[in-house]
Chain A
Amino acid sequence: MQLSDRVTGLSLVALGGLAAYGGWRLPPFPGQEMGPEVFPMVVGISLALCGAMIAAGVGRSYEDEAEADLARISAEAEADGSTAASHHSKWWELRVLIPPALLLFYYFVVDRLGFLPTAAVIVLIASLALGARARLAIPLAICAPLVVNLIFLKLLRVPLPSGMLPLPWIGLP
């Protein structure tokens, strides 16, 4: 997901422009010259200006310096550990979307499925994706949701949806 400065800069120009336009179209505050439109317009126009500067490559030299520093620190550390970057397929980069996808999964199913099963699926997938063996991932997927649920229910008094798996005998609703 590393984009060129030109792409990020121009998308910021577009975003800033849209924000300023959206602000400009807002209804004014009755009886006042200034209202809710001022701030989005100021911010949007400045953002578009910044975007144009980024696309033009202004300030690039600062980044090179910081990157050189970081590279120096992390280069040897990475050289020690066997980097898994050797077998990059086209889809490998998409792994990065697993955590947000799991959160969306939670958003859509937690009320129907209940907290424990949803959380178990999340922990299982995340753990396997990070390279855990089933021997670790499965017990973790069973225990972690139970512990989290008990903490929230007993200590913080936040009931989580029980859905299809109510467990009244261990104190969960």
Chain B
Amino acid sequence: MSNLTQAFHLVLQTDVLLAILLASIYGLVVGSLPGLSATMAVALLVPITFYLSPIAAIATIISASAMAIFSGDIPGALLRIPGTPASAAYTDEAYAMTRKGQPELALGIGLWFSALGGIAGTLSLMLLAPPLADMALNFSTYENFWLAFLGLMCATLVARSSPVKAIASMLLGLLVSCIGIENPAGTPRFTFGVTDLFGGIEVIPALVGVFAVSEVMRAMMSAEPPKMPFRRFGSILKSQWTLTKQYVKPQVRGNIVGIIIGVLPGAGADMAAWVSYSMAKRFSKTPEKFGTGHPEGLIEAGASNNASLASGWVPALLFAIPGDTITAIAIGVLYMKGLNPGPTLFTEQASSMYALYIIFIIANIIMIPLGIIMIRVASRVLRAPRSAIMPVIVLMCAVGTFATGNNLFAVMTVAAFGVIGYVMERNGFPVAAMVLGIIMGTMVEQSLVTSLMKSDGSIIPFFNRPVAAVLAAMTIAALLWPVAAWGWRSMRVATR
């Protein structure tokens, strides 16, 4: 209990509360601007969190990401342009509702069920994490290796693209993590004599490049989105309680699917929304109404993407395996702030963990009033032209990454990864898988090489410990699954 009071004490500081409020407003605005994703919002915040206290830093990430995922629904419903990829799955449905003259209903559903989904996700985090931490305390390097490998494989399984390309992206990330002297022998690897590469490729500039610079590059090639018309809204929360009671099943299903997808490494809010929307359609009694402005799919997917956000923190906190791209960034921040992820975090820093839960709940509660204000002013905020926002983002990319280490080389890294991210995306290579590889590379290598050293090069101990064997079986299944699916598919095509 003393941990809990201590946690409240940690959260109820002026700087933390101010950080939550400002990050929420920032998240709402950035998330609602088409083309700026929630991941980008968080990536641009990292340099700033560098200068905050640990709890305030985590609070900014949690609140900004939760708000951005919700506010991505706003341009989706009003303009049919998803503000974040996580809203893309149900943009058509929300826009159909606006055309029927019910924009407040569509946005209200987005807001209300996002908040409920976020709270459900937080509860799952509170319930799942401690028992898993107990189990994880007994893991040796063999289990850690399989776990990290399984995490990497999951990221490639769920990518909405060719699994082979996803695996290739992940391997590219691992290769990037090889650069530098941080390896078992401390030998400079792939540094080509460049001193700046000795420290390796830093994660934050790479993330900012892949998620922010490549986004600006895409904006250079696409047309400016249309302006939002001025609009007056009726009551936003009016019919939400009726809907909550009417659609209990889709909502619960959305929360559960969101939580499961969030826990899977690498699969984030956008994946959760796609899966939940199609599940809602499949299980609905009235599937023919989907696409005509029917609330069912919106409820399920809106709840799902916010639920996945909180549960994505489970593997991140326990094993430093990111549940999605946002927690991938969060892991970097946790390390930066001395809250190194791992099972001991729950025993030694229990109050910080409770503080994290409290922040999640606060963020999801204040989402409702702030979200209502945002919806009402959206048509004014969103009139800011892209040609004014994107240049400032380029500037922030440069200054922000420079500030994290007072190192100009980081700016070069940002530019390089912007180009890499852009080229990969254009050719169907999922960048999230590469980011995961960069972040987890050092850990995978360490657990692999240390295990091999312990066993004198034998691979038997990787399989004959019970937990390791189970994890190994799961990993191999994940690896073989795309092959099997591909074989089955081509057989079906051949017989047709």
With a 10 A CB-CB cut-off, give which of B88, B161, B168, B457 has the most chain A CB atoms.
B168
Q: Which residues of B contact A137 (CB under 8 A)?
A: 387
Docked-complex contact B486 and A81, CB < 8 angstroms: no
**Residue B70 at the chain A interface, CB threshold 8 Å:** no
Number of interface residues of A (CB under 8 A): 90
Distance (Å) between the CB of B212 and the closest chain A CB?
9
Chain A, residues 146-157, CB within 8 Å of chain B (1/0): the string is: 001000100111
A60 with B162, Cβ < 8 A, contacts A3-B427, A136-B388, A152-B403 known: yes
Q: Which residues of B contact A22 (CB under 8 A)?
A: 189-190
Chain B, residues 174-213, CB within 8 Å of chain A (1/0): the string is: 1100100001110101100000000000000000000001
Docked-complex contact B386 and A130, CB < 8 angstroms: yes
Docked-complex contact A103 and B398, CB < 8 angstroms: yes
Number of interface residues of B (CB under 8 A): 82
CA distance A35 to B222 in the complex (A): 48
Q: Which residues of A contact B408 (CB under 8 A)?
A: 107, 110-111
**Residue B476 at the chain A interface, CB threshold 8 Å:** no
A59 with B163, Cβ < 8 A, contacts A2-B427, A81-B223, A96-B221 known: yes
Task: Give the interface SS of chain A, mostly helix, strand, loop or mixed.
Answer: helix
Interface locus among B24-32, B133-141, B389-397: B389-397
Q: Which residues of A contact B187 (CB under 8 A)?
A: 26-27, 35-36
Q: Which residues of A contact B82 (CB under 8 A)?
A: 73
CA distance A12 to B361 in the complex (A): 45
Docked-complex contact B88 and A122, CB < 8 angstroms: no
A131 with B387, Cβ < 8 A, contacts A62-B163, A76-B80, A145-B395 known: yes
User: In the complex, which residues 212-227 of chain B have their Cβ closer than 8 Å to any Cβ of chain A?
Assistant: 213, 216-226
Which of B167, B168, B394 is close to A102, meaning CB atoms less than 8 Å apart?
B394
Kindly list 4 other residue pairs between chains A and B, CB separation below 8 angstroms, not including A34-B449, A132-B387, A156-B48: A39-B183, A103-B398, A104-B415, A127-B387
A: residues with CB less than 8 A from B are 1-3, 5, 8, 12, 15-16, 19, 22-23, 26-27, 29, 32-36, 38-40, 42-44, 46-47, 50-51, 53-54, 58-63, 66-67, 69, 73, 76-78, 80-85, 93, 95-104, 106-107, 110-111, 115, 119, 122-124, 126-132, 136-137, 140-141, 144-145, 148, 152, 155-158, 160
14 contacts between A and B (CB under 8 A): A1-B423, A19-B175, A29-B185, A32-B453, A39-B183, A50-B167, A63-B161, A81-B225, A98-B220, A100-B418, A103-B213, A130-B391, A144-B392, A157-B51
